[in-house]
Amino acid sequence: MKTQGLDGWQDFPSYLDLVTPRILDTMKRAGLRITVFVVGKDAALEKNQGALQSIVEAGHEIANHSHMHEPWLHLYSHDQLQADFDQAEAAIEKATGQHPKGFRGPGFSTSAAVRAMLIQRGYSYDTSLFPTVMGPVARAYFFLTSKLPPEEKAKRKGLYGNFSSAFSPLTPYQIQPGLLEMPVTTMPFLRTPIHLSYLLFLAQYSLPLARAYWDTAMELCRLTQVSPTLLLHPTDFLDATDVPAMSFFPAMRVPAEKKIELVRHTLSSLRSGWGTATMGQIAQELTRPIIPDRLQSDLQSLNLQTTRP
């Protein structure tokens, strides 16, 4: 609401108590553990404690989505970044018992300064890059529909990433020494978005079209050996009757039941084509030191010898 320029955000309204059971039920049915990027300010509010605890109790990973969810993080000074990370980490750890090791910038906002901060604070991975040609188009649509004055629009000029990011890799890579970048997956070759908010934008007009678009993306991922990550938002489980204040968000007129049906379709196809894990688990596996087979065999023999009575 703040990003959109709407009043009422100052009260920090929340729909976590409504949407969290829907998310957890969907993931339980699919047999999945996922990574949940938590906004620090949400974690700091007592009314959200129960919902966040239920996410942890269900076995999901908790990661950092900044403290105030301002998509102009790339404009922050060093001191502002430091304060944001201090507040977010403290609130998230107090509410969930987990210290985050992963980060996603709000609105895909990132910079070299943000990444340096992640390395300094011991994060193992970032997932803020959105390799798509549609970033500027989505930003133009946002500006067209928002009620922001010019000075506020200037703050948001980096929203949804830059066109140059469309040419960055789709697979995880070391973006800076000591930090793994796990980009949001987009359509191979075309570099158009494939996460749920965009699928639901298509589903407003045709649910079969949205499914076909997703299935095409998965086939291209298989052909190009891209292991996809699936980005979900809470609004992918909600509609305008649930949260009238969010009716401006794309696809909020699609009934929540229809949205969840599409979510289940994407999760099912992912599980049928790939093994699944949290982003933290994947990052840990990708950064694990590779030991040559011969040395691994010697170590196993040594372990057997040293543990023998």
**151-199 pLDDT per residue, tens:** 666 666 666 666 677 889 999 999 999 999 999 999 999 999 999 999 9
* Alpha-carbon gap, residue 32 to 30, rounded angstroms: 5
Please choose, from the candidates 220, 236, 227, 217, the residue with its C-alpha nearest in 3D space to the C-alpha of residue 279: 227
Please choose, from the candidates 167, 144, 75, 162, the residue with its C-alpha nearest in 3D space to the C-alpha of residue 112: 75
Q: Give 174's strand partners.
A: 180
Whole-number pLDDT of residue 305: 37
Tell me whether residue 221 is in a domain: no
Tell me whether residue 39 is in a domain: yes
pLDDT at position 291 over 60: no
Whole-number pLDDT of residue 223: 97
Whole-number pLDDT of residue 7: 85
136: pLDDT confidence band, cut at 50, 70 and 90?
Answer: low
Strands (E), 171-289: 173-176, 179-181
Of the listed ranges 67-76, 131-140, 251-260, 290-299, the least confidently predicted one is 290-299
pLDDT at position 297 over 90: no
Tell me whether residue 201 is in a domain: no
Tell me whether residue 20 is in a domain: yes
* Alpha-carbon gap, residue 190 to 193, rounded angstroms: 9
| CB-CB contact of 238 with 252 (8 Å) | yes
- For residue 133, what are the domain limits? 9-185+228-307
Across 246-268, average pLDDT? 94
For helices 207-224 and 256-273, the axis angle rounded to 10 degrees is 20
Tell me whether residue 177 is in a domain: yes
Tell me whether residue 190 is in a domain: no
| CB-CB contact of 178 with 167 (8 Å) | no
For helices 49-57 and 16-30, the axis angle rounded to 10 degrees is 10
> What average pLDDT does the chain have?
88
Whole-number pLDDT of residue 1: 81
Eight-class DSSP state of 103? E
Tell me whether residue 200 is in a domain: no
**211-243 pLDDT per residue, tens:** 999 999 999 999 999 999 999 999 999 999 999
* Alpha-carbon gap, residue 258 to 252, rounded angstroms: 11
pTM of the model: 0.86
> Which H or E run includes 217?
helix 207-224
* Alpha-carbon gap, residue 95 to 64, rounded angstroms: 12
pLDDT at position 116 over 50: yes
Q: Determine what percent of the chain is predicted with pLDDT higher than 70.
A: 84
pLDDT at position 129 over 80: yes
**1-11 pLDDT per residue, tens:** 877 778 888 88
How many structural domains does the chain have? 1
CATH number at residue 105: 3.20.20.370
Handedness of CA 214, 171, 191, 257 (dihedral sign): positive
Tell me whether residue 218 is in a domain: no
